Structure 1
Amino acid sequence: MVKRVLISYCIDVDACAGWINTQNGTVANASDVSRGIFGANVGTDRLLKFFDDNGIKATWFMPSHTILSFPEQMAKVRDGGHEIGLHGYTHEFVSKLTEEQERKVMAKSIEVYKQFTGKHPKGWVAPAWEVSPHSMQILEDFGIEYDHSLCHHDCQPYWAPDVASTVVYTDYSQDPDTWMMPMSKHKVTQVVEIPGSWNIDDWPPMHYSIRNPGTHGFVNPRDIQVQWEDQFTFMYREYETFSFTISIHPQVSGKSNIMLMHERFLDFLKSHDGVEFVTAATICDE
């Protein structure tokens, strides 16, 4: 049987949003903000050229803050025929929001998106993949067709479950009999899940921040390339058809040595029969 592999580059254009959203209210460091400006300007331009040179249409997930702060740069993405998806307003972790707050952020994000693109958004990815118990239901209520934040599978899309109704969380302040319970059956939503993976993401291994202990920044991109290639090789061997999403950020992948890694990795992907480079929306439609 002929292989069929749908490959989608998913770009999180966090720009300055992720830096000024410091989680604990501290003032953002000016050097960190400058990294976001690099991503919105230099990194975005380099990735756009990379995709254009290779005839690839990618999916760019944009916080509303990025759209409003860098309108001319983000217009290059829009006018280049790439898909644009939702990514919060200021890269806020929705897992820390109340349901009311999460709904207000979603409504404002859709408003900004529609003003920028002239249409209703199709997809969303949770900032930092921090999904709340209410996220899937909120997406369904707002008419969002797909999510790219969950990991029930690593290469096969599926219908996203409403996790709020499946788990009884451990509460040490209560008698154990109240929380010693198995998961219940998932309630399936009408939201398509296009799975992602931290293991195919440029941020943790190739980005450094003194204020973010979960990052490295000095890992050799050639080592990361091997890890990505090994994951693809396994999936290509085991499945006749699958999706393969690559999560990157302009302020990381826009760096010179990592751009070279993407060039090599793309050559590797293209060497396989049956691969197609598509947007996440195309995977959702199928």
Structure 2
Amino acid sequence: MILHGYSHENPVDMTFEQQRDVLDKTWKLLTDFCGKPPRGSVAPWWETSKEGTELMLSYGIEYDHSMSHHDCQAYWLRTGDSWTKIDYSKKAEEWMKPLVKGQETGLVEIPGSWYIDDLPPMMFIKNSANSHGWVNPRDVEDIWKDHFDYFYREYDEFIFPMTIHPDVSGRPHVLLMHERIIEHINKHEGVKWVTMAEMCDHFKSKQTPAPGALMPADAQDVLRKYQDSKVT
């Protein structure tokens, strides 16, 4: 189990204090329920705030699944990038400036992809024009299979993190789609089904954070402080 908000709150719409309180509450709930601290996080709506990464680091979170800087490779997340917004009332030269890279971190990003996510095409959401829910799952299946086949052909090693929601993929026509996709994937030599925590561990066994990277707090120290607070 990993962190995903309390009521699917959008981090972008919350104050820093609200984000911190939701993280603190949900971290404690999962820790008590699972008997150990959560290692990962997924931002609700895949919407991320400027404070979110450092908040996760302060709770010892090791990996995230909210960004899309790569399609099929884990990477070290960077925080604090900045860029000049386009302002059409000004001369173009005033906004044509390079992105300024922020701080490297020791937080592993397991990328998400809107193209390997069941929700946008197959869930009915009022007032969302692209989410009417009446998409033929075989069309989605072809897209997912094409993604997998391309990655398998082009990379010696890759991850294929499908994002699956129970209120979407729990429907009969989508369950059948998943059965066909799993059968397709399993026909390929060398495939291994793993958790995101295992993806994180594998990546860290081969990659080292950049010098000076912001590192996650020690998860055991965070846990110890929480346990001490319950005693007192």
TM-score (norm 2): 0.81
Other structure's SS at 1:273 match: coil
Q: Deviations over 1:107-135 (max 9, x none)?
A: 11101111211111100000010011121
Q: Does 1:282 align with 2:198?
A: yes
Superposed, which structure 2 residues align to 1:228-239 within 5 Å?
228-239=144-155
Superposed, which structure 2 residues align to 1:156-195 within 5 Å?
156-162=73-79, 164-170=80-86, 181-195=97-111
Choose between structure 1 and 2 for higher RCO, CA contacts under 8 A separated by at least 6 residues: 1
Contact 1:192 1:284 in 2 (8 A): yes
Equivalences, count: 202
Counterpart Cα distance in 2 of 1:96 and 1:177? 31
**Residues 98/156 of structure 1: CA separation in 2 closer, same or farther (3 Å cut):** same
Counterpart Cα distance in 2 of 1:209 and 1:244? 26
Superposed, which structure 2 residues align to 1:87-166 within 5 Å?
87-162=4-79, 164-166=80-82
Name the aligned partner's letter for residue 274 of structure 1: G
- Deviation at 1:210? 2.6
Which of 241, 266, 286 pairs up with 2:182?
A: 266
Decide which structure has greater strand share: 1
Counterpart Cα distance in 1 of 2:43 and 2:84? 22
**Residues 130/211 of structure 1: CA separation in 2 closer, same or farther (3 Å cut):** same
Name the aligned partner's letter for residue 223 of structure 1: D
Counterpart Cα distance in 2 of 1:210 and 1:125? 23
Aligned partner of 1:251 in structure 2 is 167
Counterpart Cα distance in 2 of 1:197 and 1:179? 28
Q: Deviations over 1:153-201 (max 9, x none)?
A: 0100000110x34334457899988755321123211110000100001
Counterpart Cα distance in 1 of 2:16 and 2:94? 24
Counterpart Cα distance in 2 of 1:205 and 1:252? 10
Name the aligned partner's letter for residue 188 of structure 1: E
Name the aligned partner's letter for residue 248 of structure 1: I
TM-score (norm 1): 0.66
Counterpart Cα distance in 2 of 1:100 and 1:177? 37
Q: Percent identity?
A: 46
Q: Deviations over 1:30-52 (max 9, x none)?
A: xxxxxxxxxxxxxxxxxxxxxxx
Other structure's SS at 2:160 match: strand
User: What RMSD in Å do the two structures reach over aligned CA positions?
Assistant: 1.9
- Deviation at 1:216? 2.7
- Deviation at 1:139? 1.1
Aligned partner of 1:4 in structure 2 is none
Other structure's SS at 1:86 match: coil
Q: Deviations over 1:186-221 (max 9, x none)?
A: 321111000010000110111112333331311111
Contact 1:88 1:127 in 2 (8 A): yes
Deviates further, 151-160 or 176-185 = 176-185
Other structure's SS at 1:261 match: helix
Unaligned runs of 5+ in 2: 203-232
Deviates further, 236-245 or 176-185 = 176-185
Unaligned runs of 5+ in 1: 1-83
Contact 1:137 1:189 in 2 (8 A): no
Name the aligned partner's letter for residue 115 of structure 1: D
Q: Does 1:221 align with 2:123?
A: no
